[in-house]
Amino acid sequence: MADLTLTNVKKVYANSVEVLRDINLDIKQGEFIVFVGPSGCGKSTLLRMISGLEDISAGTLEIDGQVVNDIPPALRGIAMVFQSYALYPHMSVYDNMAFSLQIAKENKANIDKQVRKAAEMLQLTPYLDRLPKALSGGQRQRVAIGRAIVRRPKVFLFDEPLSNLDAALRVATRMEIAALKEKMPESTMIYVTHDQVEAMTLADRIVLLSNGNIEQVGAPLELYEQPANVFVAKFIGSPAMNILPVTINKVGSQTNLAIDATTSVNLPLQLDKKEEGKKAQLGIRPEDFTMTALHKNDVLISGEIAFVEALGESTLFHVKTELHDELVIAKFPGVWDIQRGDALALAAPAEKLHLFAADGNNYSQ
Amino acid sequence: MLTSSSKKSSLTWLVHLSVFLLVLIWTIPTAGLFVSSIRDKDQLSVSGWWTALASSEQKVVYRTPVPDSQIQEADQYVLKGNLFADSNASVSAFGFSSLKPDAFVVGSTATMKKGKTLTVQANGDYVVTSPVPFTKRGQRIFYTADVPPRFTLDNYREVLGSEGLAKSFINSLTVTIPSTVIPILMAAFAAYALAWMRFPGRALLLVTVVGLLVVPLQMSLIPLLKAYNFIGESFGVGSKTYLGIWLAHTAFGLPLAIYLLRNYIAGLPGEIIESARVDGASDFDIFRKIVLPLSFPALASFSIFQFLWVWNDLLVAMVFLGNNEEQLVLTGRLRELLGSRGGNWEILTASAFITILVPLAVFFALQRFLVRGLLAGSVK
Amino acid sequence: MAQLISALLVMCIGVFGCALYFYGANLLLDYCFPAKQRPYDVIARNLRIRNAIRPWLFIGPAMLALGLYFIYPIIDSVRLSLFDRSGEAFVGFANYQWLFSSTEFFESFKNNMLWLIVVPTLSTFFGLVIATMTDRIWWGNIAKSLIFMPMAISFIGASIIWKFIYDYRSGDDTQIGLLNALVVFFGGEPVAWITVPFWNNFFLMIILVWVQTGFAMVILSAALRGIPEETIEAAVLDGANGIQIFFRIMVPQIWGTIAVVWTTITILVLKVFDIVLAMTNGQWNTQVLANQMFDWMFRGGGDSGRGAVIAIVIMVLVIPIMVWNIRRANAEMEGR
Ligand SMILES: Nc1ncnc2c1ncn2[C@@H]1O[C@H](COP(=O)(O)OP(=O)(O)O)[C@@H](O)[C@H]1O
Ligand SMILES: [Mg+2]
């Protein structure tokens, strides 16, 4: 019952910088949507426009088919959890959670019931009388979430809710948020983060933003397996995907790419005749490489190892190649007895290769 | 190493000493005022307050009571009594004429005209004898006495009562309390609007406030005085009313109040205010339930400022409340006493101490907030 | 007692009246433009109206007060300065002519300049010295608190305190003023200090220095504590001695604060009239502008033209500081 539709939404701040350009997005009830992107790309701005804290410069925002551009935050049926928690420092946990209901002048018994229910759900019952400053970071975050739950909103908005927590707590709280979503399947949640792991683990669908544009919308694995463009390809996955300059040799039932003068590779991809001879970009994920020997004819890339990062569970090789200045990264599970300065030959299965046009868009879409 | 550390410690001593001297210079004036205000007024006028603990030598004229108490002993009429009513001073010399007030040592007998004699003992007992009955006024006795230090609250009793300080004290309170509370209310609302609400002209208003911070009061006085008189006449009310002075103090305090409070309120975390907005609070709710409680330190520092400023103000009070007896505030009263009782230090010191008592108490109790406010107001 | 009760009553009316305005006005606004149980577009419109009006409800009273007690009087002062003593007949620049040809004005202007140089300088200097010294002794806070104390005393109270110190008894009478007692103790002749032209100005200035040093000290002490410890440690490693560290490392880092303290006291100096009024009322060549203006407000029933002219002179002296202040505040707000 809470569908969100953004149509041609723009944001221009007073200094006339266009922060968001032409955002179109449909969000269905019950979805867990994550806005992800590098910092400064406009994620918070978009979320705050949905919440009503920022004006929408152009375009419309509909909630359940109702244009709400001019409706203030409180009447949009949304609740927001802020990065800094934004707890009211002078109120007890109980009062923090009850505040919105008190403002809405609900009756006391009802308020009490809602607050206690939410506190129970978040294991906050023993702390109801405390002031926020007497709580740990994780507990504060839970109070902030509880404050949102109490309002029974149609849409939950989270703005980087985990960034102020330390690493261990972040993982635990992430699981709690996932569990919370399970308990409230009918609530829509929109979650902003710059951390791709949070995005991948939490989202039903990820909205990847950069520079005020939506780069791609899709399920996490969709973004991983079929990145719409080089930006998405490099943003999702760690270490980032290697991008190599190539030339399209021949099109047909397969596409033949020249990697260098002597190496070429065939991709299971049918391209238009006019693409022949054009420059393109070949993407290979570090974890998709396989190791091979120099003289074998499946060698895709070879070069000297510039340095090795042994992480225990896997090993990263940074390889200096003749192809371009950037080092190619290859990732293999386990520990390897290969040193800096050694030569390394890499192969990759053709179906794991991604081909992007010179302008960055994925050829397969 | 040794020399450098001994040099260091002598330097430290120098610092201790200098600070001690400076503190002494800064406190002695006030200490002198206080000590003087509780001294006996006769002692105050003849010896410095720093001698308050030593007994002072006083030259006094005493006149014996009317002759009713004379008794007849043989052929002499005798007057007996003691020079001192209650204290235990001691007489060192005495005499019977103003030309030689200390002609005789205690215990000796002075022979006066017409066969009269006068004997004064060290403890003040005197005996006057005369061959004929005492008829007219009492006999004058001049004596020099060492009076032990005497501390008294008489000065305070006098100024509070007959000099009208008690009334002025209440007047000062009547002026000060609303003049402190009203501008806080007005400034807090304005500061919130300037910090967190969007409306056209906000930047201009802020600049105006900053500009008005330094405008001298003098610039406003004459037109306001005229306006007050005009309003007073046209409505048939007096032009010197408490309401009038409250409004004046309120307005004069506003620029600083708005500036201080805006700086503080603008520094509150924005997410808390947005969170309240999402929770459905209107700006009025946010102000009352979030901003006001969180701004307590800033409100406290400004109220102390304003309280001290209004309590200590003379100019605004003279112009807007005038100097009629009924409404005179403490500072105004002091000024008047300075004119009418310029030489009576017992009155001036006690009155001055009463006026500075309240601000000093406020100062020492709430110094922390005062300092914080000062810093917020000037250092950024 | 009756007075106390009526005073309380009057106070309550004043304070509650003000609170009532804010409460009532906001309630009225919400009542006139309801945002509950209405169609969405009505709610949206009503809320827009509310948000447009509410800032003015908040800021209105303050703006009104500032307008009536600052803006209007400033304009009217300028007007009155061109009118005669009763403010009725236009006299052109006659008041200005009078002012610039009167010896009294030049005397007070000269004295004011003297005050402007001496008081801020001495207060800031003592404030800085005391702040530096008290920061390194264990009873520094007590010392600061005692030196800060005169801030709480009214100028008229301070005047009485110091008048008592300057007290003079003629002839062989025992001096009960501390200063003359000291002079006599060291074998000098007692002096009626506040009647000695020129030098008496300094005896009045001392009072303001005594009051204001605490202010300078508190602010400079905070600024000194804000200096990063590393810069001083670096200077020590570079072999600087205490004096060098103070003047070449510490003072340059707090120039901004020193300037603020200086200007704040400067403005105060221009406004203070109570001290002169109480000590000499301008006799013995101690007149200053603020007191002269006060004098003309009431002298012979008051001369609004001449009073206004003197007020304008004071205002003009303040304007450079005002401009500086505004530019500083603007820079600060852009930095936000
Ligand atoms: N109030 C504002 N005024 C002007 N520019 C802003 C404002 N808020 C954010 N921006 C700019 O908009 C861009 C996007 O900001 P934001 O949405 O906060 O990014 P993020 O994706 O890191 O959350 C940034 O470049 C930021 O500088
Ligand atoms: Mg952000």
Which ipTM did the prediction report?
Answer: 0.88
**Chain B residues with beta carbon closer than 8 angstroms to that of C264:** 378
Domain of residue B107: give its range: 57-148
The reply to whether A347 falls in a domain is: yes
**Tell me, what CATH number does A80's domain have?**
3.40.50.300
Do B220 and B362 fall within a single domain? yes
Do B170 and B262 fall within a single domain? yes
> Minimal CA–CA distance to B306: which of B169, B171, B170, B179?
B179
Q: Which of B47-56, B168-177, B328-337 has the lowest mean pLDDT?
A: B47-56
The reply to whether B37 falls in a domain is: no
The reply to whether A363 falls in a domain is: no
The reply to whether B51 falls in a domain is: no
Do B227 and B103 fall within a single domain? no
Quote the mean pLDDT of chain B: 82
Q: Ligand 1 atom 18: the closest Cα is on which residue?
A: A44
- Asked if B376 reaches chain C (Cβ–Cβ under 8 Å), the answer is no
So what's the pLDDT on residue B7? 61
Q: Do A72 and C47 touch (CB under 8 A)?
A: yes
Among partner residues C40, C45, C47, which is closest to A66 by beta-carbon distance? C40
The reply to whether A365 falls in a domain is: no
Residue that terminates a domain, selected from A177, A205, A235: A235
Do B202 and B120 fall within a single domain? no
So what's the pLDDT on residue A191? 94
Do B176 and B138 fall within a single domain? no
Quote the mean pLDDT of chain C: 86
Do A230 and A328 fall within a single domain? no
Do B250 and B211 fall within a single domain? yes
Query: Is any atom of ligand 1 closer than 6 Å to the C-beta of A44?
Result: yes
Mean pLDDT of the B163-169 span: 84
- pLDDT range class, residue A329, cuts 50, 70, 90: very high
So what's the pLDDT on residue A8? 92
Residue A247 phi, psi dihedral angles, 5° rounding: -125, 140
Report the percentage of chain A scoring pLDDT > 70: 99
Mean pLDDT of the B33-53 span: 78
Residue that terminates a domain, selected from B92, B117, B148: B148
The reply to whether A40 falls in a domain is: yes
Position with higher pLDDT, A235 vs C194:
A235
Is the Cβ–Cβ distance between A229 and A362 less than 8 Å? yes
- pLDDT range class, residue C120, cuts 50, 70, 90: very high
Strands A188-193 and A32-36: parallel
DSSP B79: E
Do A56 and A148 fall within a single domain? yes
The reply to whether B34 falls in a domain is: no
Alpha-carbon gap, residue A46 to A64, rounded angstroms: 18
Q: In the predicted model, is pLDDT for residue B1 greater than 50?
A: no
So what's the pLDDT on residue A59? 92
Helix, strand, coil in percent for chain A, rounding step 5: 30, 35, 40
Q: Which of B218-232, B267-281, C37-51, C93-107 has the lowest mean pLDDT?
A: C37-51
Mean pLDDT of the B145-152 span: 75
Alpha-carbon gap, residue B315 to B332, rounded angstroms: 9
The reply to whether A340 falls in a domain is: yes
Do A230 and A247 fall within a single domain? no
Q: In the predicted model, is pLDDT for residue A134 greater than 80?
A: yes
So what's the pLDDT on residue C284? 86
Alpha-carbon gap, residue A224 to A337, rounded angstroms: 30
Among partner residues A66, A68, A70, which is closest to C48 by beta-carbon distance? A70
- In DSSP terms, which residues pair with A172 in a beta bridge? none
Number of domains within chain B: 2
So what's the pLDDT on residue A26? 92
B329 Cα distance to chain centroid? 12
Helix B345-378 vs helix C140-148: crossing angle, to nearest 10: 110
Do B288 and B365 fall within a single domain? yes
Q: Ligand 1 atom 25: the closest Cα is on which residue?
A: A40
The reply to whether B29 falls in a domain is: no
- pLDDT range class, residue B380, cuts 50, 70, 90: very low
Q: Mind listing the pLDDT tens digit for each residue in C65-77? A: 999 999 999 999 9
The reply to whether B367 falls in a domain is: yes
Mean pLDDT of the A88-112 span: 92
- Full set of structural domains in chain C with CATH: 95-152+198-333 (1.10.3720.10)
Position with higher pLDDT, A30 vs B340:
A30
Do B203 and B235 fall within a single domain? yes
For testing contact with chain A, the best of C38, C47, C54, C334 (most A CBs within 10 A): C47
So what's the pLDDT on residue B191? 94
Q: In the predicted model, is pLDDT for residue B84 greater than 80?
A: no
- pLDDT range class, residue B67, cuts 50, 70, 90: low
Do A54 and A178 fall within a single domain? yes
Q: Do B275 and A73 touch (CB under 8 A)?
A: no
Is the Cβ–Cβ distance between C66 and B254 less than 8 Å? yes
Q: In the predicted model, is pLDDT for residue A315 greater than 60?
A: yes
> Minimal CA–CA distance to A24: which of A229, A207, A235?
A207
Q: Ligand 1 atom 8: the closest Cα is on which residue?
A: A45
Region class of C241: left (phi > 0), else alpha (psi between -120 and 50), else beta: beta
What would the DSSP string read from start to end of A136-185?
-HHHHHHHHHHHHHHT--SEEEEESTTTTS-HHHHHHHHHHHHHHHHH-T
**Chain C residues with beta carbon closer than 8 angstroms to that of A75:** 35, 43
Q: Which of A45-54, A57-66, C55-64, C280-289 has the lowest mean pLDDT?
A: C280-289
Residue that terminates a domain, selected from A235, A254, A282: A235
For the CA of A160, the closest atom of ligand 1 is: 23
Do A227 and A334 fall within a single domain? no
Do A62 and A193 fall within a single domain? yes
Nearest bound ligand to the CA of residue A41: 1
So what's the pLDDT on residue B144? 78
Do B187 and B264 fall within a single domain? yes
Rounded to two decimals, the pTM is 0.85
Domain of residue A109: give its range: 4-235
Q: In the predicted model, is pLDDT for residue A202 greater than 70?
A: yes
So what's the pLDDT on residue B378? 57
**Residues in Cβ contact with B168 at an 8 Å cutoff, skipping those fewer than 6 apart:** B328, B329, B330, B332, B333
Alpha-carbon gap, residue B361 to C73, rounded angstroms: 36
Count CB-CB contacts under 10 A for residue C32.
11
Residue that terminates a domain, selected from B99, B124, B148: B148
- pLDDT range class, residue A255, cuts 50, 70, 90: confident
Mean pLDDT of the C148-156 span: 89
Alpha-carbon gap, residue C168 to C191, rounded angstroms: 7
Residue that terminates a domain, selected from A202, A235, A268: A235
Do B176 and B77 fall within a single domain? no
Quote the mean pLDDT of chain A: 89
The reply to whether A136 falls in a domain is: yes
Do A176 and A294 fall within a single domain? no
Q: Mind listing the pLDDT tens digit for each residue in B218-229? A: 888 888 988 888
Strands A255-258 and A242-250: antiparallel
Alpha-carbon gap, residue A100 to A88, rounded angstroms: 12
- pLDDT range class, residue C209, cuts 50, 70, 90: very high
So what's the pLDDT on residue B6? 56
User: What does the block give as tokens for A83?
Assistant: 């990065």
Mean pLDDT of the C216-222 span: 89
The reply to whether B270 falls in a domain is: yes
The reply to whether B299 falls in a domain is: yes
The reply to whether A258 falls in a domain is: yes
For the CA of A37, the closest atom of ligand 1 is: 21
**Tell me, what CATH number does B316's domain have?**
1.10.3720.10
Region class of A360: left (phi > 0), else alpha (psi between -120 and 50), else beta: left
Do A178 and A296 fall within a single domain? no
So what's the pLDDT on residue B379? 40
Query: Averaging pLDDT over each range in A13-22, A231-240, C182-191, which range is the top one?
Result: A231-240
**Residues in Cβ contact with B357 at an 8 Å cutoff, skipping those fewer than 6 apart:** none
Alpha-carbon gap, residue C163 to C184, rounded angstroms: 18
Rounded to the nearest angstrom, the distance between the alpha carbon of B377 and the centre of ligand 2 is: 32
Q: B343-347 contacts: CB < 8 A, separation 24 or more? A: B344/B41, B345/B36, B345/B44, B345/B45, B345/C164, B345/C167, B345/C176, B346/B36, B346/B37, B346/B39, B346/B41, B346/B44, B346/B45, B346/B155, B346/B158, B347/B155, B347/B158, B347/B159, B347/B163
Q: Do B276 and A87 touch (CB under 8 A)?
A: no
Number of domains within chain A: 2
Alpha-carbon gap, residue B131 to C142, rounded angstroms: 69
Do A212 and A273 fall within a single domain? no
Do A273 and A173 fall within a single domain? no
Do A64 and A183 fall within a single domain? yes
Q: Mind listing the pLDDT tens digit for each residue in C163-176? A: 888 888 876 777 88
**Residues in Cβ contact with B286 at an 8 Å cutoff, skipping those fewer than 6 apart:** B192, B196, B273, B276, B277
**Chain B residues with beta carbon closer than 8 angstroms to that of C219:** 374-375, 378-379
CB pairs under 8 A between A and B: 55
Element housing A318 (H / E): strand A314-320
So what's the pLDDT on residue A316? 93
Residue that terminates a domain, selected from B105, B122, B148: B148
Do B224 and B344 fall within a single domain? yes
- pLDDT range class, residue A193, cuts 50, 70, 90: very high
Q: Mind listing the pLDDT tens digit for each residue in C247-264? A: 888 888 888 889 888 988
The reply to whether B368 falls in a domain is: yes
The reply to whether A364 falls in a domain is: no
Do A185 and A80 fall within a single domain? yes
Q: In the predicted model, is pLDDT for residue B304 greater than 50?
A: yes
- The four Cα atoms C79, C81, C84, C85 give a dihedral, to 10 degrees, of 120
- State the chains in contact with A (3 or more Cβ–Cβ pairs under 8 Å): B, C
